[in-house]
C-alpha cells in the first residue's frame, strides 16, 4: 500500500515539476518497480527476476499514470487536487488497516463468542443514545448562546442523529483504530508479555476516547453558538447548526401593550429567531443579549432587510 501511494504521489509530481526536477519522480518510480513486483508475486525460486520486474512495472506504472491523469484532468489548482487525493489515499489505507486489524483483535475473544446476542443488543442502545446526544448538542447550542429552551425550537429526529454522528463517529473510528493496533500486535505475537495490559488497556482507552469526544462535541456546540452570537450582533444571519436555522426578523406588536416574557420588545432593531413553536415564538435581542418570548397572534414578524428594520 505504501508503494502504491508513493507511485500515485510521483504521478502528481510529474505534472507539477518541470525541467531537471522531473528526474526525481522518475527515479522514485524506477526504484519502486522491483520491490513492488517482489511483494506482489513473492520471491520463490520459480519466480524469476524478469517476472518480478514485469509485475512491478505494471503495478507502479498504473498508479503513476493514474496520479498523472488526476493531476491533469481534475478541476481546480494542482495543490488542492493533490491534497484531496492524498487525504483520500491516506483514509483508504487507514480503513484497510482497521478492516484487517479488527478481526485479529476480536477473534476468539468474549465478543466473538457472544456476538450472536451482543450485536443485536447494541442496535436499540444506539437508536436511543444517538438522538439523545444530538438533542444534548442542540440544547447546549441554544441555552449557551441564546438562553432559549431546547423544546422551544422544534428539530426533526433526522437532525439529531446527524448532529451526533460527527462526534460519536469520530470516537468510534479512534476506538476501532486502537483495537486494530492491538489486533495487529496479536497477529504478529507482540503482546505475549503484555497481554493483560492490552486486554484491559484497549477498553479503558476506548471509554476515555468516547468521553473526551463527547466533551469535545459539547465544546464545539458552544463555540458554534458563540460564532452565531457574534454574527447576530453584527447584523448578519448566523450559519445553520444541524437543523437550527437562525434568522434576523423585525417584529411589530399588534397592540401598544402585549404580554412579553423577559421584555421589553425592541421593534426598531432586528431580533434573532429560530422559528415558532406552537402559538409562541422565542426571540433573542442582540442589543441586550437576552431572550424573550411572545405569542404569535400578538406580533407581526417580517424578515429584516440588510440587517435593519424600518
Dihedral sign, Cα of residue 275, residue 268, residue 309, residue 270? negative
Q: Which residues pair with 284 in a beta bridge?
A: 272, 291
Residues listed for the chain:
310
Tens digits of residue pLDDT in 22-69: 788 888 888 888 888 888 776 666 678 888 888 888 888 888 888 888
- Grid cell in block for residue 310: 424600518
Closest by alpha carbon to 171, among 229, 135, 126? 126
Tens of pLDDT, residues 219-237: 888 898 888 888 888 888 8
Residue 150: which of 168, 166, 163, 165 has the closest Cα?
Answer: 163
Angstrom distance (rounded) from CA 67 to CA 87: 14
Q: Which pLDDT belongs to residue 44?
A: 60
- Tell me the pairing of strands 247-253 and 280-285: unpaired
**pLDDT at position 76, please?**
63
Cα(230)–Cα(272) distance, integer angstroms: 12
Query: Reduced to 3 states, what is the DSSP secondary structure of residue 88?
Result: helix
How many CB atoms neighbour CB 173 within 10 A?
A: 14
Listed as ranges, residues in the chain with pLDDT below 50 are none
pLDDT at 75: 64
Q: How far apart are CA 65 and CA 98, in angstroms?
A: 28
**Per-residue pLDDT, 83:** 67
The three cell numbers of residue 196 are 493483560
Which residues in the chain belong to E strands, given as ranges?
247-253, 260-261, 271-277, 280-285, 290-295, 299-303
Amino acid at each position: 500500500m505504501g508503494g502504491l501511494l508513493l507511485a500515485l504521489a510521483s504521478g502528481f509530481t510529474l505534472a507539477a515539476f518541470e525541467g531537471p526536477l522531473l528526474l526525481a519522480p522518475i527515479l522514485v518510480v524506477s526504484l519502486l518497480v522491483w520491490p513492488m513486483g517482489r511483494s506482489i508475486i513473492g520471491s520463490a525460486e520459480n519466480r524469476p527476476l524478469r517476472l518480478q520486474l514485469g509485475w512491478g512495472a505494471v503495478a507502479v506504472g498504473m498508479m503513476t499514470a493514474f496520479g498523472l491523469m488526476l493531476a491533469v484532468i481534475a478541476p481546480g489548482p494542482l495543490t488542492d487536487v493533490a491534497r484531496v487525493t492524498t487525504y483520500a489515499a491516506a483514509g483508504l489505507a487507514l480503513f484497510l488497516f482497521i478492516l484487517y486489524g479488527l478481526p485479529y483483535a476480536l477473534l476468539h475473544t468474549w465478543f466473538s463468542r457472544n456476538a450472536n446476542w451482543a450485536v443485536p443488543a447494541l442496535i436499540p442502545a444506539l437508536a436511543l443514545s444517538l438522538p439523545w446526544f444530538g438533542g444534548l448538542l442542540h440544547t447546549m447550542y441554544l441555552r449557551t448562546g441564546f438562553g432559549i429552551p431546547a423544546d422551544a425550537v422544534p428539530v426533526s429526529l433526522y437532525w439529531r442523529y446527524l448532529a451526533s454522528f460527527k462526534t460519536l463517529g469520530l470516537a468510534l473510528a479512534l476506538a476501532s483504530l486502537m483495537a486494530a493496533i492491538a489486533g495487529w500486535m496479536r497477529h504478529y505475537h507482540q503482546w505475549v508479555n503484555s497481554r493483560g495490559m492490552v486486554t484491559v488497556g484497549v477498553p479503558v482507552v476506548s471509554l476515555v476516547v468516547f468521553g473526551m469526544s463527547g466533551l469535545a462535541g459539547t465544546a464545539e456546540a458552544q463555540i458554534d453558538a458563540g460564532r452565531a452570537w457574534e454574527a447576530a450582533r453584527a447584523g448578519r444571519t448566523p450559519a445553520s447548526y444541524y437543523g437550527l436555522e437562525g434568522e434576523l426578523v423585525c417584529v411589530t406588536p399588534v397592540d401598544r401593550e402585549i404580554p412579553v416574557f423577559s421584555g421589553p420588545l425592541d421593534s426598531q432593531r432586528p431580533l434573532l429567531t429560530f422559528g415558532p413553536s406552537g402559538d409562541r415564538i422565542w426571540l433573542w435581542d442582540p442589543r441586550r443579549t437576552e431572550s424573550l418570548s411572545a405569542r404569535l397572534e400578538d406580533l407581526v414578524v417580517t424578515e429584516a432587510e440588510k440587517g435593519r428594520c424600518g
